[in-house]
Amino acid sequence: MTPGPQSKHLSLSNMKKCLIVAIADNYGIGVKNQLPWHISEDLQYFKNTTRGYPVIMGRSTYFSIGRPLPGRKNIVLNLGGDPIPEVTCVYSFEEAYREAEAAGKDKCFIIGGASVYKMAMPEMDLLYITHVHTEVKDADVFFPVISPDVWERESTSETHTDPETGFKFEFAVYHKKMNITKELWGKTPEGKEIFRYTLKNASGASVQLSSLGAAITSIMVPDKAGKLGEVVLGYANAMDYMADGPCAGKIPGRYANRIAKGKFTLDGVEYTLPVNNGPNHLHGGPKGFQNQVWESRVVDNAVEFMYFAEDGEAGFPGNLKVIAHYTWGEDNSLKLVLTAETDKPTVVNLTNHVYFNLDGDGSVLDHKLELNASQWLPTDSTLIPLGEPEDVAGTPMDFVEAKRIGQDINADFPALKYGKGYDNCYLIDGAMPGQLTTAAELWGAKSGRHLEVLTTQPAVQIYTGNWLNGCPKGRLGQEYHDYDAVAIECQHCPDSPNQPGFPSTVLRPGEVLEEAIIWAFD
């Protein structure tokens, strides 16, 4: 399991976005505070889990505990009564979040009874709830509002009995249900059905996905005024995505990006691939994964796509099973987990080729981009890496500090001449296998929207939509133009099968490739 996002920029909105909520009743009603908290197993779990993080609690909960929780900042939502020594007292959740943010953490925890529970409800993504079962009438009155239409029970621990009181405790985890709908969107000429899925969270923000190419076809998130708007390039019809030049929103494969001259050698065997981009192989060829209809289904709060590539398909060795697992959060973050397994040694490079325009339309040249990358891969004129990475410092390739995408795009620099803009691979600083790392951040010029991209992949390809002219029309019939969107493609390096110095893209039988990408909006 990979760790949570390591955001470089903590803000109040991020604090709410990353909120993990723990709710435990203080048992003050009906049981007269008889519960010995110090031996309650769920509370011990809570103490261990929250160590170092701020804790927001209700007034009655604080007095039930009898003292501040050690090793963290204690914030009491003091809805009445005198100030409490040794803790920070606040009078609204907004104040509580600000105090929690001041502790310099990326999440906070909440513990409390019915009143705190109801007030915190709009911010919750997860509930950690302890039910107490007693013979006292209405002892479970605290949690009647866990609606099965909104919350789904994720897991349940064993039931524990407190030896001193005889009370039974049941620890449960709930997550908010995602509103997911499925519709038949179109059919291929061969009659294959193309399905579209819509995932909508409680705020109304949404994502749409297509089974053609396991594509992201729409993301609707709020701007600085709270108005929902489209932020990704997309077309009106399902079949517009078939063999489109931009590969908009889709998962290319078996090998995303380029392989020089369509050839590579693995374990002494040379393989030949279709050449479809100048002298090179690109994105798995004309019949790559992006132009296939994937199997699809709803799994819990997620949508999952599966594609099975046969041995020899597009010249690659091995039967390959690929799964793309998408989840959309209440915090307006979209997570993609890609997994693959093979029965023969092969090479694999998977990403998603979604294009962003955080203002919804017009050029992205005034968007600001920041990359967590101090090195990039110089290429030849066909965009095949020359070998060793180079420092970005002192070149137009430098996005270590946020700058306008268009600031240097017309500079007299070979890489920018080759691609008519940016189409280059950057090595993510601090990237480690299986660890989520910030790859990029993007700011809209007018909308106030911000996107942070995190990934377990070692590199990110930045493509500034240099050849969007002539692609299929947009959802509303509008023409797309060059530089109307930017792709931030988290992946392995291009031509890795021919470049032994790059991170390996070889997958062998018995191994499972697993990579994650998170697009977090605020």
CA-based nearest residue to 492, from 388, 349, 383, 371:
349
First CA to last CA distance, the chain: 25
Q: Is the pLDDT of residue 139 over 90?
A: no
Q: Is 104 exposed, middle or buried (0-12, 13-18, 19+ CB in 10 A)?
A: exposed
The reply to whether the predicted model has a pTM over 0.85 is no
Residue 464 shares a structural domain with residue 490: yes
Q: Answer for the pair 133, 170: CB distance below 8 angstroms, yes or no.
A: yes
Specify the number of domains making up the chain.
Answer: 2
Q: What is the pLDDT of residue 130?
A: 53
* CATH number of domain containing 215: 2.70.98.10
Residue 152 shares a structural domain with residue 195: no
- Cβ contacts of 430 within 8 Å, gap of 6 or more: 372, 437
Q: What is the pLDDT of residue 390?
A: 98
Residue range(s) defining the domain that contains residue 102: 12-176
CA-based nearest residue to 402, from 440, 437, 358:
440
**What is the layout of strands, in order, in the sheet containing 21-24?**
21-24, 126-133, 168-176, 151-161
CA-based nearest residue to 519, from 333, 315, 329, 251:
333
**Ordered DSSP codes for 170-211:** EEEEEEEPPEEEEEEEEE-TT--EEEEEEEE-TTS-EEEEET
Q: Which of 157, 176, 195 is the last residue before a domain boundary?
A: 176
Residue 445 shares a structural domain with residue 495: yes
**Ordered DSSP codes for 261-301:** GGEEEETTEEEE----BTTBEETT-TTSGGGSBPEEEEETT
Average pLDDT over residues 292-320: 96
The answer to whether position 2 is within a domain reads no
Q: Which stretch of DSSP H or E encloses residue 436?
A: none
Task: Label residue 260 by pLDDT band (50, 70, 90).
Answer: very high
Q: Is 164 exposed, middle or buried (0-12, 13-18, 19+ CB in 10 A)?
A: exposed
* CATH number of domain containing 68: 3.40.430.10
Question: Catalytic site residues?
Answer: 353, 489
The answer to whether position 265 is within a domain reads yes
Task: Label residue 128 by pLDDT band (50, 70, 90).
Answer: low
Q: Is the pLDDT of residue 510 over 60?
A: yes
Q: Answer for the pair 262, 347: CB distance below 8 angstroms, yes or no.
A: no
- Cβ contacts of 131 within 8 Å, gap of 6 or more: 25, 140, 143, 169, 170, 172
The answer to whether position 7 is within a domain reads no
DSSP 447: S
CA-based nearest residue to 336, from 200, 207, 460, 180:
207
Q: Is the pLDDT of residue 406 over 80?
A: yes
Give pLDDT tens digits for 485-504: 999 999 999 999 999 999 99
Task: Label residue 18 by pLDDT band (50, 70, 90).
Answer: very low
Task: Label residue 70 by pLDDT band (50, 70, 90).
Answer: confident
CA-based nearest residue to 19, from 103, 124, 111, 117:
124
- Cβ contacts of 59 within 8 Å, gap of 6 or more: 76, 77, 78, 79, 80, 81, 84
Residue 247 shares a structural domain with residue 165: no
Q: Answer for the pair 172, 156: CB distance below 8 angstroms, yes or no.
A: yes
How many Å is the Cα radius of gyration of the chain?
Answer: 26
Q: Is 466 exposed, middle or buried (0-12, 13-18, 19+ CB in 10 A)?
A: middle
Q: What is the pLDDT of residue 177?
A: 75
Residue 83 shares a structural domain with residue 190: no
Q: Which of 118, 143, 176 is the last residue before a domain boundary?
A: 176
Q: What is the pLDDT of residue 513?
A: 97
The CA–CA distances, whole Å, from 77 to 95, 120, 145, 383 equal 9, 11, 21, 58
Q: Is the pLDDT of residue 207 over 90?
A: yes
Mean pLDDT over all residues of the chain? 84
Residue 254 shares a structural domain with residue 343: yes
The answer to whether position 4 is within a domain reads no
Residue 144 shares a structural domain with residue 191: no
Q: Is the pLDDT of residue 26 over 70?
A: no
Residue 157 shares a structural domain with residue 195: no
Give pLDDT tens digits for 78-115: 877 788 878 889 888 778 878 888 887 766 777 766 56
- Cβ contacts of 196 within 8 Å, gap of 6 or more: 182, 183, 184, 185, 208, 209, 210, 211, 217, 238
Q: Which of 176, 198, 215 is the last residue before a domain boundary?
A: 176
Residue 348 shares a structural domain with residue 447: yes
* Percent with pLDDT over 90 in the chain: 64
- What does the alpha-carbon distance between residue 485 and residue 451 come to, in Å, rounded to a whole number? 14
Half-sphere exposure for 328 (CA within 13 Å, toward CB): 27
Average pLDDT over residues 17-39: 38
The dihedral region occupied by 458, where left means phi > 0, alpha psi between -120 and 50, and beta the remainder, is alpha
Structure tokens at 100: 């929690």
Residue 193 shares a structural domain with residue 260: yes
CA-based nearest residue to 257, from 480, 484, 458, 468:
458
Average pLDDT over residues 173-199: 91
Give pLDDT tens digits for 340-390: 999 999 999 999 999 999 999 999 999 999 999 999 999 999 999 999 999
Q: Is the pLDDT of residue 470 over 70?
A: yes
CA-based nearest residue to 377, from 219, 499, 271:
499
The answer to whether position 5 is within a domain reads no
Q: Is the peptide bond before 67 cis (omega within 30 degrees of 0)?
A: no
What are the backbone angles phi and psi of residue 31, rounded to the nearest 5°?
Answer: -115, 0
Half-sphere exposure for 238 (CA within 13 Å, toward CB): 22
Residue 190 shares a structural domain with residue 167: no
Q: Answer for the pair 451, 430: CB distance below 8 angstroms, yes or no.
A: no
Q: What is the pLDDT of residue 62?
A: 76
The answer to whether position 293 is within a domain reads yes
The answer to whether position 3 is within a domain reads no
Q: Is the pLDDT of residue 3 over 60?
A: no
DSSP 379: B
Residue 160 shares a structural domain with residue 252: no
The answer to whether position 53 is within a domain reads yes
